[in-house]
Amino acid sequence: MTGNFKITLAHLKELGACRTGQREFQKAFPDGGEYQEVLDRCAKEVRIDFGLWLLAHVGTTEDVRVYEDAVNSPGEYIMFAGSVEFKAGANVRFLAAGGDIEAGRGIKAGGDIEAGRGIKAGGDIEAGRGIKAGGGIEAGGDIEAGRGIKAGRGIEAGRGIEAGLGIKAGGEIKSVLGYGIYAGVGVPVKDWYRFAVVSAKAKPEYLLSGHWKPLEGTDAQTT
């Protein structure tokens, strides 16, 4: 499937879109619209809720959007149905992709960074809100999020990892060269057990803050 896939009102109804979403879609695209065209419109009008709903219900496309030059647009919202590749780095407001997100340098977003598959950067990965990936998250530098960090596979940073809330990985959470892993930096210590939970296949070696809780269904170490 590609981003040219046509979405119609009837299709949205089949997917279970709310009535408000149906009305707004019909107003903007009375004859239907191409999948990526609709996502671009959502990004332009900052309808992140509906855009993420579409990505979750329509799915990932085979398309790849490549940015040859560095993207320095702190106010820009990017929502893409396929994979996004930044040859250099990116500084945007919000970034979401149905597939992978990759950057030769760092990735920075004032809001969230979300990928249906993996997120990989040669430099830092930094989000003012959350970082979420269906696959793994890998950075050559630091990984920092104002809220939580969640990955379906492992999380690996070339330096440290810091989250305002919790950190969860389907694989291992690793920082190298002795850099620390800090969860819950945005909440009081007394609330760590609720809001700063760290879960993975094994307890991270350099976990310095946060409430460790073994990942359900694994034999993760508890010491």
Q: How high is the pLDDT of residue 223?
A: 46
Mean pLDDT of 93-115: 98
pLDDT confidence tier of residue 76, bands split at 50, 70 and 90: very high
Q: How high is the pLDDT of residue 220?
A: 57
Mean of all residue pLDDT scores within the chain? 96
Mean pLDDT of 82-110: 98
Tens digit of each residue's pLDDT (9 = 90 or more) over 16-32: 999 999 999 999 999 99
Question: Crossing angle, helix 35-44 and helix 19-28, to 10 degrees?
Answer: 100
Q: How high is the pLDDT of residue 216?
A: 83
pLDDT above 60 (res 170): yes
Total-model pTM? 0.95
Report d(CA 178, CA 188) in Å as an integer: 25
pLDDT confidence tier of residue 221, bands split at 50, 70 and 90: low
Report d(CA 105, CA 8) in Å as an integer: 38
Is the model more confident about 198 or about 221?
Answer: 198
